[in-house]
Structure 1
Amino acid sequence: MGECKWDYREALSKAILFFEGQRSGKLPANQRIEWRRDSGLSDGASAHVDLTGGYHDAGDNVKFGFPMAFTTTMLSWSVLEFGGFMGSDLSNAKTAIRWATDYLLKATSHPGTIYVQVGDPNNDHKCWERPEDMDTARTAYKIDSQNPGSDVAAETAAALAAASLVFRKTDPSYSKRLIHASMMVFDFSDKHRGSYINALKSAVCPFYCSYSGYQDELLWGAAWLHKATKNAEYLNYIQANGQSLGADESDNIFGWFNKNVGTRVLLSKEFLVDKVQSLQEFKSLADKYVCAILPRSKYTPGGLLYLLPEVNLQYVTSASFLLLTYAKYLSSSKQLVSCGEVTVTPHKIRAIARSQVDYILGSNPLEMSYMVGYGSKYPQRIHHRGSSLPSVAQHPQAIGCIPGFQFLNSNASNPNLLVGAVVGGPDANDHFPDDRHDYQHSEPTTYINAPLLGSLAYLAHSTHS
């Protein structure tokens, strides 16, 4: 791919570091984002369970299980596809995964019950507080057989299965725990079908409503379990349920609420590389996705893939990862993609993905990086409580719910650098206001960063190999 002015290796290190800023729970001695302190140490106590740990998904203090599980799946997939290119960053990437899976194991350790959220989001969003000062209700929300949640449960199963592959060689006993939990959770999600918004609507909507239903997660979870176990039971499930669970739908958004495109690419490998002939349709469905990404109408004037107005960069990072991963599968099987009369090579697919990562790092009309702490110009006023409030070291006294809003409303730059955080990004015209109130564009999330790890690892390797 040749030389590039962007240092992908530095960006990768920082993208991983971001997850340390999102940690909840008791922080380890080697915590590198030092302005953070312990938080949420009594999470789960109200339900007499231990739900400490895990991640805040974005700039608030709730632990939403649905995006946390998706983040974990994508961190794991990043490592599985491109971990060999991560060098010294691989151990930190695995640590980021384990911080999540340790929590997900706790959340799924009670038979017939899965804890899917900690914190009342309606109260949390009425406050602007550091995680260390939280005094809003840390309600523990759960699903069970009477109140099912196949979407969040099957995504959790996918996360545990994907992570089991990450740790299979380095920590086989932990890997076995993960796969056992994954199988139990998937069985529960399939047996007790329903969306978690029916049981928990006021707690999960409009924050993380399951907009695409739960069918896509069931197929995604089965795909990951098949990849992790090679058990024919899961392959049979995919073959029997693929159509009814939406495999052939033509949506082209991949993110925390819609897994269809990801499933297509994941299962295309089974056909392309492992020669499972019964999964040939997933190759043609993945081809359709590539063709749908190509039209110029999908991009901003400055060249950014623009799919949805809110937090658009989450769809850019996930699309870039899928394109690089699919290009890898195509290359290894010497296949191409046909979009009508246009033939698309793996090289062309990689070039599209790289252009998107480059845009995020600074190849854009504003010449700014959308990753905090990377480059000379990046967002200064991100929508993030811990970053925008004085740190505990600087201001040891608690800052209450309402007094904290003075920091949300300030025009000053955030005092604490959340290094590696990628924000929601610019609008359809490549404009970015850098306004703390504008959460659609200025809030970072774990699921923006998670798939970016794989892309950055690949690009760091390909530009120097």
Structure 2
Amino acid sequence: MVAFSSLFFLLFTTLFLSNAFATHQRLHHPHFSKHNYRDALSKSIIFFEGQRSGKLPSNQRLKWRRDSGLSDGSAMHVDLVGGYYDAGDNVKFGFPMAFTTTMLSWSVIEFGGLMKGELENAREAIRWATDYLLKATAHPNTIYVQVGDANKDHACWERPEDMDTPRTVFKIDTTNPGSDVAAETAAALASASLVFRKSDPSYSRLLLKTAIRVFAFADKYRGSYSNALKPFVCPFYCSYSGYQDELLWGAAWLHRATRNPAYLNYIQVNGQTLGADETDNTFGWDNKHVGARILLSKAFLIQNVKSLHDYKGHADNFICSLIPGASFSQAQYTPGGLLFKMSDTNMQYVTSASFLLLTYAKYLTSASRVVTCGGATITPKRLRTIAKRQVDYLLGDNPLQMSYMVGYGQRYPERIHHRGSSLPSVANHPAKIACSSGFSIMNSQSPNPNLLVGAVVGGPDAQDRFPDKRSDYEQSEPATYINAPLVGSLAYLAHSFGQL
């Protein structure tokens, strides 16, 4: 008995020490992370299937969703079936949908080569949007920019499959221009043309041809779409930053997609009047200046387009503004370390800034360059460390130890502000749920019955607090433009840590 106990003790000790050594090796190995970025990447893309409008395909993975909006556009005798619902409502807003498409495309352009099995899923997410944007731009000098009356939609809490609110169609044209949404649409189509250039050349050519035409319309008929459509697009997706940033952004994407010197000339001639040197360091669905700076700096850094030298400086200024704890930093961080821009859907700025950090780090590395901030040298490695810290916070490294991605990790938001997710599915409740009937569920404490896998919510407040309350749309609502740039960041991190 004693001999057996000694043998057992010896085996136990050996196993314990080997496990401890293996754990030590993992924790101190540069290519180990406690986060499964590959799993998060897969889920971040699946989320878009939960936002689909239109006739769902047979390979739809989120099975609790059904067809919806099958007559969209019929009021104007145009086919506008398809596309994405932007967030937790049932309206199709063209402005954020186009930005989502651009950022999904940019994610694939920069990091698609690292995605392996997820690349095709990412392409499908982009195609679902571009197929719709091609329909919305089918008529010359006209873009259909919204389907659904947002005010009436927000007065209901119902599944997209049950919609009975007006599917009113709103458009811009030569009389009521919208250079902001038009140029963003051009950026979306141009960037997507690069995604499909090798895998589907004919589709790529169609996207680029349409992008060129749409950008010409945006530039010739200048104005903000919020002016003519203010009662319908504001305060939801008002163009607060104006349209100049989108014209610069659209031209930057067309320059990258076409290599036509006319777009480079356009940027050189119009850059300053379009606000290229603005110091606003917010990048999101409304303001594209920072994104344009990073994008154009690539042409200077890697292709040696000397006339774009200033954009490297502008991009550096943005990077310097983000360095935590530095004297030259302008960014606010929560006590737990999350970049904090504003209380409403703050996570969109976290994901977009993280993507820009990783993308700029890639460009700097290719050019063997660094960023200088107030005499301090900031290396590409430092940029990647900052970006990783933000993504890790999102995935659970935070004071609440909560993942802000639905379905990822042990603890995540259960009461997200999302109609389809919060109401029983058609499979479980075939009968129609009327407009106001759903509010009893919206206001309840019960967890959402349908998991909107991969959805990233607005996130915690400035003090790292998160109530997980369905009525709190600022913190609990997911949105396509939160997820889109995160796709690229997760692909990079999954590859870097040997998970892809």
Scaled to the shorter chain, the TM-score interval is over 0.9
4+ residue segments displaced more than 2 Å: none
Look up the SS of the partner of 1:67 in the other structure: helix
- Which residue does 1:214 correspond to in 2? 243
- Which residue does 1:353 correspond to in 2? 387
Q: Alpha-carbon deviation of 1:70?
A: 0.0
Q: Alpha-carbon deviation of 1:308?
A: 1.4
- Which residue does 1:316 correspond to in 2? 350
- Which residue does 2:116 correspond to in 1? 87
Look up the SS of the partner of 2:68 in the other structure: coil
1:191 and 2:191 equivalent?
Answer: no
User: Percent identity, aligned pairs only?
Assistant: 71
Rounded to whole Å, the distance in 1 between the matches of 2:386 and 2:480 is 23
Q: Alpha-carbon deviation of 1:295?
A: 3.9
| Structure 1 counterpart of 2:417, one-letter code | H
For each residue in 1:385-412, what CA deviation from the matched residue of structure 2 results, as whole angstroms up to 9, or x when unmatched? 0000000000000000011111101100
For each residue in 1:53-87, what CA deviation from the matched residue of structure 2 results, as whole angstroms up to 9, or x when unmatched? 00000000000000000000000000000001111
- Which residue does 1:302 correspond to in 2? 336
Rounded to whole Å, the distance in 2 between the matches of 1:404 and 1:358 is 35
Rounded to whole Å, the distance in 2 between the matches of 1:464 and 1:229 is 34
TM-score normalised to structure 1 length: 0.99
Rounded to whole Å, the distance in 2 between the matches of 1:333 and 1:157 is 29
Greater shift after overlay, 294-303 or 123-132?
Answer: 294-303
1:418 and 2:452 equivalent?
Answer: yes
Q: Alpha-carbon deviation of 1:363?
A: 0.4
Q: CA RMSD in A?
A: 0.7
1:146 and 2:180 equivalent?
Answer: no
- Which residue does 2:417 correspond to in 1? 383
Look up the SS of the partner of 2:183 in the other structure: helix
Q: Alpha-carbon deviation of 1:309?
A: 1.4
Q: Alpha-carbon deviation of 1:172?
A: 0.5
Look up the SS of the partner of 1:147 in the other structure: coil
Rounded to whole Å, the distance in 1 between the matches of 2:265 and 2:177 is 24
| Structure 1 counterpart of 2:160, one-letter code | P
- Which residue does 2:92 correspond to in 1? 63
Which of 279, 296, 306 is residue 277 of structure 1 equivalent to?
306
| Structure 1 counterpart of 2:446, one-letter code | A
- Which residue does 1:401 correspond to in 2? 435
For each residue in 1:185-210, what CA deviation from the matched residue of structure 2 results, as whole angstroms up to 9, or x when unmatched? 00000000000011100110000000
- Which residue does 1:450 correspond to in 2? 484
Q: Alpha-carbon deviation of 1:2?
A: 2.3
Which of 340, 352, 365 is residue 374 of structure 2 equivalent to?
340
1:461 and 2:490 equivalent?
Answer: no
1:119 and 2:148 equivalent?
Answer: yes
| Structure 2 counterpart of 1:370, one-letter code | Y
| Structure 1 counterpart of 2:189, one-letter code | L
- Which residue does 1:434 correspond to in 2? 468
Number of residue equivalences = 465
Look up the SS of the partner of 2:377 in the other structure: strand
Q: Alpha-carbon deviation of 1:275?
A: 0.4
For each residue in 1:406-438, what CA deviation from the matched residue of structure 2 results, as whole angstroms up to 9, or x when unmatched? 110110000000000000000000000000000
1:156 and 2:190 equivalent?
Answer: no
Rounded to whole Å, the distance in 2 between the matches of 1:410 and 1:324 is 40
- Unaligned ranges ≥5, structure 1: none
Look up the SS of the partner of 1:451 in the other structure: helix
Rounded to whole Å, the distance in 2 between the matches of 1:61 and 1:206 is 16
- Which residue does 2:104 correspond to in 1? 75
Rounded to whole Å, the distance in 1 between the matches of 2:128 and 2:141 is 24
- Which residue does 1:53 correspond to in 2? 82
For each residue in 1:117-168, what CA deviation from the matched residue of structure 2 results, as whole angstroms up to 9, or x when unmatched? 0000000000000000000000010000000000000000000000000000
| Structure 1 counterpart of 2:483, one-letter code | N
Rounded to whole Å, the distance in 1 between the matches of 2:172 and 2:441 is 36
1:258 and 2:292 equivalent?
Answer: no
Rounded to whole Å, the distance in 2 between the matches of 1:110 and 1:337 is 45
| Structure 1 counterpart of 2:217, one-letter code | F
| Structure 2 counterpart of 1:452, one-letter code | L
Rounded to whole Å, the distance in 2 between the matches of 1:15 and 1:354 is 16
Q: Alpha-carbon deviation of 1:341?
A: 1.9
- Which residue does 1:172 correspond to in 2? 201
| Structure 2 counterpart of 1:403, one-letter code | S
TM-score normalised to structure 2 length: 0.92
| Structure 2 counterpart of 1:324, one-letter code | L
Look up the SS of the partner of 1:117 in the other structure: strand
1:130 and 2:164 equivalent?
Answer: no
Rounded to whole Å, the distance in 2 between the matches of 1:282 and 1:250 is 12
Look up the SS of the partner of 1:165 in the other structure: helix
Rounded to whole Å, the distance in 1 between the matches of 2:324 and 2:106 is 27
Q: Alpha-carbon deviation of 1:319?
A: 0.1
Look up the SS of the partner of 1:245 in the other structure: coil
Rounded to whole Å, the distance in 2 between the matches of 1:46 and 1:444 is 29
Rounded to whole Å, the distance in 1 between the matches of 2:241 and 2:54 is 31
Q: Alpha-carbon deviation of 1:284?
A: 0.6
- Which residue does 1:231 correspond to in 2? 260
- Unaligned ranges ≥5, structure 2: 1-29, 326-330
Rounded to whole Å, the distance in 1 between the matches of 2:286 and 2:441 is 31
1:98 and 2:127 equivalent?
Answer: yes
Rounded to whole Å, the distance in 1 between the matches of 2:275 and 2:486 is 26
| Structure 1 counterpart of 2:321, one-letter code | A
Rounded to whole Å, the distance in 1 between the matches of 2:465 and 2:69 is 36
- Which residue does 1:29 correspond to in 2? 58
Rounded to whole Å, the distance in 2 between the matches of 1:68 and 1:115 is 12
| Structure 2 counterpart of 1:56, one-letter code | Y
Rounded to whole Å, the distance in 1 between the matches of 2:135 and 2:498 is 41
Rounded to whole Å, the distance in 2 between the matches of 1:170 and 1:462 is 25
Rounded to whole Å, the distance in 1 between the matches of 2:282 and 2:497 is 28
- Which residue does 1:288 correspond to in 2? 317
Rounded to whole Å, the distance in 2 between the matches of 1:355 and 1:71 is 23
Look up the SS of the partner of 1:452 in the other structure: helix
